[in-house]
Amino acid sequence: MGRLDDKVAIVTGAGSGMGAQTARRFIGEGARVMLADVSIEPTQTLADELGDAACAMKLDVTSEDEWSQAVDATVAAFGGIDLLVNCAGITGMSPLEGSVEPFRKMMEVNYFGTLLGLRAVIAPMRERGGGSIVNFSSINGIAGAPATGAYVASKFAVRGITKTAALELGSAGIRVNSVHPGAIATPMTSKEVLGFDPRPYLSKLASLGRVGEPDEVAQLVVFLASDESSYCTGAEFVIDGGVLAGLSWPS
Ligand code: NAP
């Protein structure tokens, strides 16, 4: 028996990294999943690999129209929606005295994209008598970091809307939680994308002395999606190898 048997999910950012691994784990636990991402090619490839329990569609999370289409397509394919994982996100540098554009863009994708997703699934989740929504924040939704104010602000906003949503939607049986990963080995922290390898440095920030794997986060998301977490809502789940445990002496 799977931990997500009979559940239907939308996972955003499912074409890469933690979204892709979450979709894999969900299907392994018996869910049917709409894999949604702005990049359709890798998403479709993964859905084909995962079989009949998976569908793929292009979704830019900043578009209200595309959210509406994603909800309709998921209900048409699988009969309803029980789970939403708002995983899609972007990062980048944004010094306070630099361009204001990254601040607008990251708020648009990371925060507003999450908000639109959350709003889009409320009605179908009410129809099912409840649901679970997992929003991807970050350790940067709990603590600041220099030159990344756009990302930090957007992830604080995700943490804030998670709590408000939990309060508004609890009576409908809809649980809403945020996850706060530290550095995880995905394209977002790769040399290929960044042009340098940040992982040796990031490993030193964690008391476990390494970056995390996407599957370690996906397993936490499975717990939050499943009925095992039935009394968890409005909460923040840190998964960072000990980065936020306290101050370390520089070595
Ligand atoms: P990733 O491998 O870069 O995957 C993110 C996915 O989201 C990509 O497929 C990306 O497509 C997609 N995406 C970007 N903008 C989108 C949009 N407007 N609409 C729909 N999809 C969009 O990243 P990841 O590391 O798995 O990160 C997943 C989440 O965890 C993000 O919210 C991130 O901020 C958060 N997080 C990551 C880390 C980390 O260390 N990796 C730590 C803390 C939190 P493109 O590739 O085409 O842009």
Between residues 249 and 6, the one the model is more confident about: 6
Using a pLDDT cut of 90, give the percent of the chain over it: 97
Mean pLDDT of 23-34: 98
pLDDT of residue 168: 98
Ligand 1 atom closest to Cα of residue 183: 40
pLDDT in tens, 69-96: 999 999 999 999 999 999 999 999 999 9
Mean pLDDT of the chain, nearest integer: 97
Residues classed as catalytic: 151
Please state the φ and ψ torsions of residue 31, each to the nearest 5 degrees.
-80, 160
pLDDT category at 247 given cuts 50, 70, 90 is: confident
Mean pLDDT of 201-212: 96
CA distance 67 to 217: 25
Nearest residue (by CA) to ligand 1, atom 33, is: 89
Nearest residue (by CA) to ligand 1, atom 34, is: 89
Contact yes or no for 88/13 (Cβ under 8 A)? yes
Mean pLDDT of 94-102: 98
pLDDT of residue 171: 98
Q: Is the CB of 60 under 6 A from ligand 1?
A: yes
Q: Is the CB of 165 under 6 A from ligand 1?
A: no
pLDDT of residue 249: 77
How much helix, strand and coil, in percent to the nearest 5, is found in the chain? 50, 15, 35
Contact yes or no for 229/201 (Cβ under 8 A)? no
Query: Among residues 69, 58, 172, 57, which one has the least CA distance to residue 120?
Result: 69
Mean pLDDT of 139-167: 98
Annotate 43-112 with three-state secondary structure: HHHHHHHHCCCEEEEECCCCCHHHHHHHHHHHHHHHCCCCEEEECCCCCCCECCCCCCHHHHHHHHHHHH
Task: Say yes or no to pLDDT of 39 above 90.
Answer: yes
Please state the φ and ψ torsions of residue 19, each to the nearest 5 degrees.
-65, -45
DSSP H or E segment with residue 175: strand 174-181
pLDDT of residue 251: 66
pLDDT of residue 214: 98
Contact yes or no for 159/152 (Cβ under 8 A)? no
Task: Say yes or no to pLDDT of 248 above 90.
Answer: no
Q: Is the CB of 221 under 6 A from ligand 1?
A: no
Q: Is the CB of 136 under 6 A from ligand 1?
A: yes
Distance 201 CA to ligand 1 centre (A): 21
pLDDT in tens, 156-193: 999 999 999 999 999 999 999 999 999 999 999 999 98
| Side-chain-side CA neighbours of residue 183 (13 Å) | 18
In the chain, the N- to C-terminal Cα span, in Å, equals 47
Task: Say yes or no to pLDDT of 5 above 90.
Answer: yes
Contact yes or no for 30/6 (Cβ under 8 A)? yes
